[in-house]
Amino acid sequence: MAGIVLAWSACGLAASGPGLGFKIGVQTLDSPIDLEKTTRTRYELELSTARFFDDHFDLAFTAGGSSLGSFDTYYFDETEGALIEEFYTDDLSLLDLRLAARFYPLGDASDIRPYVGAGVGYFWFFDRWDYTYAETAEDPYFPGVYNTFVDKSDGVDTAAKGFFPFVTAGVTIPIGDVGELLFDFQYDFEKKDNGFDFGGPIYMIGARFRF
């Protein structure tokens, strides 16, 4: 997909060079922990084509994501004189890749360029987990002495994934000869799977360098 973006930027109609940008902001979505609305910090790395057709259009390939928090769970039980304990730790995160087409209505008539656009993305909801099992029991040969057996495991599960559409709008402001200040808004639709819904608004600020 990134190769398609770069190939387009080589077209002779391009009016400015391809760009590399970094953005930071917030996104509001349903928390997978309690299903209430939550706002999380989001980071994005953007690779954009040169603007073409008199600076009216470009394409952008973006990789971004957020940490959705973590939680711990503890269970215990006593059976046949042994204490059974289970500890769970889950670290949740959301990652997506997206491709957008953007339209700059002012084209090359202004250095300050508002834009609107739309695109499609693919997301992954990851659960990085750690599990500890502990069993404590009295030593049958040494009364009053207790031994604990511990077993640990960890892994990463993909709890949800899928395609989603989105819209975007914003403005770019020039900084020097090759830099741009970015103000970006996005809204994700139908970003859901397995009962999780990650759709909602995203507000970003960042910088881009055109080559």
Q: Which architecture does CATH list for 2-210? A: Beta Barrel (2.40)
User: What's the rounded mean pLDDT across residues 165-193?
Assistant: 95
- Tell me how far apart the alpha carbons of residues 136 and 80 are, in angstroms, rounded to a whole number: 11
User: Which of 5-9, 32-36, 146-150 is the least confident region?
Assistant: 5-9
- What residues contact residue 47 under an 8 Å CB cut-off, 6+ apart? 2, 5, 6, 18, 19, 20, 60, 61, 62
Burial (Cβ within 10 Å: 0-12, 13-18, ≥19) of residue 132: middle
Do residues 199 and 192 lie in contact, with contact meaning Cβ atoms separated by under 8 Å? yes
pLDDT 10s digits, 27-86: 999 999 888 899 999 999 999 999 998 889 999 999 999 999 999 999 999 988 899 999
Report the range of poorest mean pLDDT among 2-6, 113-117, 191-195, 201-205. 2-6
CA 165/CA 191 separation, integer angstroms: 8
Structure tokens at 29: 């979505």
pLDDT at 12: 35
